[in-house]
Amino acid sequence: MLGLKNMTLTTLAAALLGAMLALLPADAFAGHLYGSNAWTSAPGPLYGGPGPVYGQVGQVDGQIRISVDRCTGQWCQIRAGSQSGWHPLSNLDFGQAPGNAPIRFNQLGGGPGYVCFYSKANFAGTEYCAAPGTHVRDLKLYGRDNAVGSIKIVGNASATVCRDFDLTSYCSRIVLSKPYMPDELRDAVSSFRVH
């Protein structure tokens, strides 16, 4: 009888834990899988949402390495050590060191050639091909946000792919076909330019 009670309590505890986890938002555990490296340009507050109206939840120092989970409008959700919150985009540097301007990707177009983006690894899934000069500022508008699993380069072309809209946040220049995207960009591409 004692074993049955212990078994029932264990089963009940597991069910309660499962129910509590089910109440969390779907992305509660996904926030730390990715993140773009950046720097704070000056000390400032962290807010509970995108703006002061959400209340201050912390403070960050200037010129420290942080991780940017996502940006919306003029605000970015960041992680700095054990703190997380929203910080103004204007106070972030995405360069190689604090104070460096971000790398610009406005090189002249290449060609002849084209670049194909696939929704799955190994050039599988939905395919979308683009010629040099194509600039897609927000893949969400096309229903393809965060859905690039591989990229094929054909001919004399290349592509700049970025985690956030309009070639911002973490970006990488792709000059050779990639059957698998790098970890920082796997299912995390939101904009691109074909050269």
Q: What percent of the chain lies above the pLDDT cut of 90?
A: 33
Print burial letters for 84-122: b (CB count within 10 Å at least 16), e (below 16).
Answer: bbbbbbebbbbeeebeeeeeebeeeebeebbbbbbeeee
Report the alpha-carbon distance of residue 33 to residue 110 in Å, rounded: 34
More confident call, 38 vs 157: 157
Which phi and psi angles does 13 have, rounded to 5°? Answer: -60, -40
CA distances from 192 to 19, 40, 48, 162 (A): 40, 25, 30, 6
pLDDT value at position 17? 45
Mean pLDDT: which of 24-38, 94-108, 114-128, 161-175 is highest?
114-128
* Alpha helix stretches (DSSP H) within 79-134: none
CATH of span 113-194: 2.60.20.10
Give 41-67 pLDDT, tens digit per residue.
Answer: 889 999 999 999 999 999 999 989 888
Report the alpha-carbon distance of residue 147 to residue 186 in Å, rounded: 8
pLDDT averaged over the chain?
Answer: 78
Average pLDDT over residues 125-144: 90
More confident call, 107 vs 39: 39
Closest CA to 106 of 163, 167, 148, 151: 167
pLDDT value at position 111? 66
Give 180-191 pLDDT, tens digit per residue.
Answer: 998 878 888 999
Reply yes or no on whether the pLDDT at 118 is more than 80: yes
Residue boundaries of the structural domains of the chain: 36-93, 113-194
55: which DSSP letter? -
Fold of 36-93: SH3 type barrels. (2.30.30)
Closest CA to 37 of 193, 184, 191: 184
More confident call, 71 vs 4: 71
Average pLDDT over residues 133-143: 88
